[in-house]
Copies of this chain bind each other. A is one copy, B any other.
Amino acid sequence: MSDATVARVRAAADALGYRPDPTARSLRTRRSGVAGVVVPDLTNPVLPPIVRGIEETLWSAGIACLLADTDNDEEREAALIEELRSRRCEGLIVASAVRTAQIPDLPTVLVTREAGSLPLVAADDASGIRAVVAHLRELGHTRIAHITGPLNLSTTTRRLAAFGEGPVVHGEAFTIAAGERACAQLLREHPETTAIVAGNDMIALGCYAALAAAGLRCPDDVSVTGHNDMPLIDRVQPPLTTVAIPQYEIGVAAANTLLARLRGEPVGSMLLPTRLVIRASTSRPRPRRSPG
């Protein structure tokens, strides 16, 4: 068939406004051109940049994204994933995985949170937390405590392991309220603490609130660090020292990993580098008055 003919047919098709029907094509090819993106809570400021990275990368590969928000509810997650599967998603990017979760028989890439042996794209939080602890030690802190996120999340266990020795209190969620409660408990149980490594930025903000409620100042009395460097966290008072993660790039990498899987290429996990951002929530510990 000559190029000219191709051009003529194409012109005629355009003139008639012909558009291939993706539904009919899907029925025939068994490919939907759709992937599912499952998030635990879009309202968590870490997620939107990740979702943008996913969405832009998949769109440019001709794949559309069905968005599903689990509201951090495991049952809801299961139901939504089943629904996405039944809608013939070609693959899944899951940011909401809890360690016990069952992911279905579908090409799946996890983001941030690990589960089973599925490929994971996440920030290298362990090295981030180690950098934070080193920074605090350099400032002269010796009584450093850690407030974790929920124990069923792999992010929590990774960060906890990297934190190493020291008092630990577990927060029930990655929220300001949970951070505030956990920090109040920490101040009761370990009043000698001079620095707190919070499980993430939201928990760090909870620490700010608990410290203020206890009449302590940050960083003068207690230094606080976070994790994620989420939007606006540089504008709170005091600006938070935290571990920056490449959110958008994590989204892009997750999408590319899924695309590779869909092409049948072997894929593995990926940890992207983090960066310590030192702001005003950390300082030298206030010299202790000798007892008596």
Q: Which residue numbers of A lie inside 8 Å of B, CB to CB?
A: 19, 21-24, 26-27, 32-34, 37, 41-43, 45, 47-49, 51-52, 55-56, 59, 64-69, 71, 80, 83-84, 86-88, 205, 208, 231-233, 235-237
Contact = CB atoms under 8 A, between A and B. Distances in A.
B59 A19 contact: no
Contacts of A49: 43
Q: Mostly helix, strand, loop or mixed at chain A's interface?
A: mixed
A48 B43 contact: yes
B69 A56 contact: yes
B52 A232 contact: no
The 3 closest A-B pairs by CB, nearest first: A237-B237, A67-B67, A42-B48
A24 to B, nearest CB: 5
24 contacts: A19-B86, A21-B27, A21-B88, A22-B87, A22-B88, A34-B66, A37-B67, A42-B48, A42-B51, A42-B52, A43-B48, A43-B52, A51-B67, A55-B67, A56-B71, A59-B68, A59-B80, A59-B83, A64-B68, A66-B66, A66-B67, A232-B232, A232-B233, A232-B236
Contact of A55 (B26, B69, B84): B69
